[in-house]
Amino acid sequence: MITIHCRKPGQLNWVVLLVSLFHSFVLSQMAYGHVGSSGVIVQKQAGKYQLLISIKPPDVVPGTASVTVFVEQGRAGIIGARPIYFRSGDKGAPTHDILTPTGTNRYEGDLWLMSSGSSSIEFDIDGPDGKQRVVVPVMAVATALRDMPEGTGFGLAAMGLLLVVMLVTIIGASNADGVVAPGQAPPAKLGRKRVVGMGIGLIAITLILAGWRSWWNSTAEDYRNVQLYRPTPIKASVRIADGQRQLTIRFDTSGYGADRQKRRTLSYILPDHGKLMHAFLVRMPGLDAFAHLHPNRLDTLNYESALPALPGGKYMLFADVVYRSGFAETLTDTVEVPLLKISAEAAAAAKPTDPDDSWLVAEPMGVKANAVNVPHLDNDMVVCGKPGASAKLADGSSMIWMDKSAQILEAGKLYTLKFAVADAQGKATPIEPYLGMGGHAAILRSDGTVYIHLHPVGTYSMAAEGSLVSRIADTARTFHYPNAVHFRDSIDNWLAKLKTLPEVEKNRMLAASMPVMSHPMKTNNMVEFPYAFPRAGHYRIWVQVKRNGQVLTGVFDTQVNDPLL
């Protein structure tokens, strides 16, 4: 029997819908820090203020980012916001725009992002509870091509034709009418001069329009081939070595020479939560096998990780990396994992590449659980009068999805996904920091078109935030990268040292590397994630926490529908 403690009446319910996010434009092939969801959601503490920030960046740059700030705790009077690009820093940024209060403790505004690149939005909060500053990473990249509506095109074409006719007529008239003195009869050749003038005018306008069209086509081609974001290509493969399967992830730089849009500063990858790369493997089509791995860097282009005891099959791969500029990417590929039959002793003796690697084999998506020690994948309980779900964890404890607002969730609505852990006797049991945070989550739509690596602070990277905060503090107008070899070696040495530390010291060192991250859990057996499902569909959620030094993974399914209008 699992004991569930409910809130007292009147206590705030953080799972209540906070805001509707409209106009979700999803591009399944685009990936920058996630796949299929372009918004940024942040929930964090800043002094006495607890803020929930939602940013919808434009999918065409230049464009406006829609910003919404909820002050969940604290008394704020004025909130200003401004975009700051990594390459220009604070010196090249505009002044703050004041957000408009639109409700109780809610502020909104639109900010222009004028060029592509790694950027952030800096918020200045001022009020009775003091002044605070928060920086939120935002990737300012063009992800869409917009076609002009057919009606608008016809209307503009008709207006343009009218203007050309009028301009040609005016040129012809001015060429002819000037030769006639007041009171004199027009000469016989007046009409011919008017026609000649109109012909010259038509030729001049035609040349101008041809040059303008050439410029327009060139600009459109540059946007399509250079500015339009494309994720860095990778090639994943699995080989068998010494009786163990090895996953290799290689950055594909074959197009770097001809296409500058593809280029990345691969020597300047930053560790995020103490790892250079977070690689997630999910078996298709049932989403029944999952692994969260942290490959080692062999050289600038190649990363490698030993595979755990996963079943063979076709897997989707999502690899998260963060560059020194604060730009975060999710790189995607599919990989065939061969079936490897080994003895139980050999499987037990196999060591993961990283002690924080974890994996889980569960039921295929949509199958009801009816066996002991098998995750419950559907709503199977009521928690505080609301639908809930539970999952058995590998150590015999249970994970409970708390405060689920309904059996079927709505796309575009912001929820706080809250999960609690109870021991085998059903009592609340504390969880330990996992990679420097209360927990991690991965969410995947059944067809793979939506993926997100979630943290309690939201949908962005801590390493990206740290990089952009340090850049803002830099007084230089332009940023100069350090020596690539020295930078890469210093990162590798830091990571090697991190792996040798005891867990407590490692978490202390991780916390020191993420000083801007402030999001303590309110209850020591719970972890929360703010998220808005970008589109309708069937989703699987993997929630990862650490207990007694062991990484534990709970798996849950949920259906998301379009909102009722």
SS3 assignment, position 542: strand
Which residues of the chain are under the pLDDT cut of 70? 1-34, 37-38, 175-190, 255-263, 344, 346-348, 367-388, 515-522, 565
Enumerate the β-bridge partners of residue 310: none
- For the stretch 530-553, pLDDT in tens is 999 999 999 999 999 999 999 999
Residue 164 makes CB contacts below 8 A (sequence gap 6+) with 205, 209
pTM equals 0.81
Cα 411 to chain center, whole Å?
17
Q: Residue 194 has what pLDDT?
A: 77
Enumerate the β-bridge partners of residue 84: 120
Enumerate the β-bridge partners of residue 511: none
User: Is 137 within 8 Å of 460 (Cβ atoms)?
Assistant: yes
Q: Residue 186 has what pLDDT?
A: 62
Instruction: Give the C-alpha separation, 535 to 36, whole Å.
Output: 9
Instruction: Give the C-alpha separation, 536 to 445, whole Å.
Output: 9
Q: Residue 25 has what pLDDT?
A: 32
Main-chain dihedrals φ then ψ at residue 174, nearest 5 degrees? -65, -30
Instruction: Give the C-alpha separation, 231 to 320, whole Å.
Output: 11
Closest by Cα among 109, 123, 137, 128 to 51: 123
C-alpha pair distances (Å), 472 with each of 79, 90, 133, 380, 469? 19, 5, 12, 48, 5
Q: Residue 541 has what pLDDT?
A: 95
Instruction: Give the C-alpha separation, 84 to 136, whole Å.
Output: 10
* Residue found under tokens 């964890």: 393
SS3 assignment, position 565: coil
User: Is 400 within 8 Å of 388 (Cβ atoms)?
Assistant: yes
Q: Residue 263 has what pLDDT?
A: 66
- For the stretch 240-250, pLDDT in tens is 988 889 999 99
Three-state SS annotation for 174-235 = HHHHCCCCCCCCCCCCHHHHHHHHHHHHHHHHHHHHHHHHHHHHHHHHHHHHHHECCCCCEE
DSSP assignments along 465-527, one per residue: HHHHHHHHH---SS-----HHHHHHHHHHHHHHHHHS-HHHHHHHHHHH-TT-----SSTTEE
Instruction: Give the C-alpha separation, 396 to 430, whole Å.
Output: 14
Structure tokens at 60: 């065409």
Q: Residue 426 has what pLDDT?
A: 86
Instruction: Give the C-alpha separation, 404 to 372, whole Å.
Output: 24
